[in-house]
Amino acid sequence: MTPTRLLVRACTAALLMSGLAHTAMADQLDDIKKAGKIRVAIAMGTPLFSYTDANLQPAGSDVDTAKLFAKDLGVQLEIVPVTNAARVPTLQAKRADVVIADLSITPERQQVIDFSVPYAVISIIVGGVADVKVKGYEDLAGKRIGVTRATVNDSLTTQNAKGVEMVRYEDDATLITSMVTGQINLFSSTPSNLAEMQKRAPGKKFELKFEQTNFDLGIALSKGEPKLKEWTDQWVKANLQNGTLNDIYKKYHGRDLPPKLTGK
């Protein structure tokens, strides 16, 4: 091979490497702004966090948070409805830019996606009908309990409840319906879902049995997007400090965010 051809090949390779490096350095934040739209995955059918209101419009604290997020970013909001189980896969498959869907920050999830600093919290409880006596995990042995698949409720109960029959549902709405219609009489979920069950079937006397844990919620982002993560972190901090995120949370959940988040 002649020196000239070797030089051409070397230059071509350098240009290709330069192009690949430029592509790798391109940040999702720039792409979102250029597109003028952000795709936010939201798990619809989660009472208080994200649901369809009487006018068939998306509502809830996560929906309002997503609207504010898009507004402050200066772009249009496109809601990508997902099930709870599809929240992380939807982000990994690039079908959404971020996820705002009551997604708890856990070490397992942090291995495959990034999270913003916490913007809200969620409590995980076991609840059920009043005549089933349950005070702790040990009382669940030999019983059936409903959970929403691929949630911390699912993993917590699976890890801690021995000898229990797990009944897994694809979303919170189906879990709620199963409790209301008597298909199951115990569940692991959130206080907001318990409140929805009580509202829909007051005669069944659903009650909280015990609290399992509390989790911080984060806005989920793809790994390797430092500019988008930095902007999101700063946005969350600013809106916690000025009280806007607390106002959104309190509007739907009837209580303030904990001081550990708001600093107040």
Quick: pLDDT tens for 122-143: 999 999 999 999 999 999 999 9
What mean pLDDT comes out for the span 181-192? 96
- Three-state secondary-structure class, residue 209: strand
Which tens digit of pLDDT belongs to each residue from 168-177? 999 999 999 9
From CA 55, how far away is CA 133, in angstroms rounded?
39
The count of domains in the chain is 2
240 lies in some domain: yes
Please state, in angstroms and rounded to a whole number, the distance separating the CA atoms of residues 182 and 242.
44
Range of the domain at 54: 33-122+215-261
Quote the percentage of the chain above a pLDDT of 90. Answer: 88
Q: Give me the mean pLDDT over the 163-172 stretch.
A: 96
Q: Are residues 182 and 197 in the same domain?
A: yes
167 shares its domain with 222: no
**Per-residue pLDDT at 163:** 97
pLDDT tops 80 at residue 11: no
The tens digit of pLDDT for each residue in 202-213 reads: 999 999 999 999
157 found inside a domain: yes
pLDDT tens digits along 80-127:
999 999 999 999 999 999 999 999 999 999 999 999 999 999 999 999
Confidence of residue 7 (pLDDT cuts 50, 70, 90): very low
Q: How far apart are CA 256 and CA 127, in angstroms?
A: 23
Q: CB–CB of 64/248 below 8 Å?
A: yes
pLDDT of residue 264: 80
CA distance 224 to 237: 21
pLDDT at 14 over 70: no
Based on the domain organization, do 257 and 183 belong to the same domain?
Answer: no
The CA-atom distances, in angstroms, between 139 and each of 80, 124, 143, 151, 205 are 39, 17, 8, 22, 19
Q: Indicate the Cα dihedral angle 250, 256, 260, 261, nearest 10°.
A: 20
For residues 90 and 153, state if they share a domain: no
C-alpha 201/C-alpha 229 separation (Å) is 42
CATH number for the domain spanning 242: value is: 3.40.190.10
Does residue 3 fall inside a structural domain? no
In a shared domain, residues 103 and 223: yes
Q: Are residues 68 and 118 in the same domain?
A: yes
Q: Is the pLDDT of residue 30 over 50?
A: yes
What mean pLDDT, rounded, does the chain reach? 91
Residues 6 or more apart whose CB falls under 8 angstroms from that of 167 comprise 144, 145, 146, 147, 178, 183, 184
Shared domain for 52 and 181, answered yes or no, is no
Asked which of 178, 193, 214 is the last residue of a domain, the reply is: 214
Q: Is the domain of 196 the same as that of 244?
A: no
**Which uninterrupted H or E stretch holds 128?**
strand 120-129
Query: pLDDT band at residue 26, thresholds of 50, 70 and 90?
Result: low
In tens, the pLDDT along 217-257 reads: 999 999 999 999 999 999 999 999 999 999 999 999 999 99
Residue 31 has pLDDT above 50, yes or no: yes
CA distance 154 to 165: 12
Does 243 lie in the same domain as 116? yes
Q: Are residues 245 and 205 in the same domain?
A: no
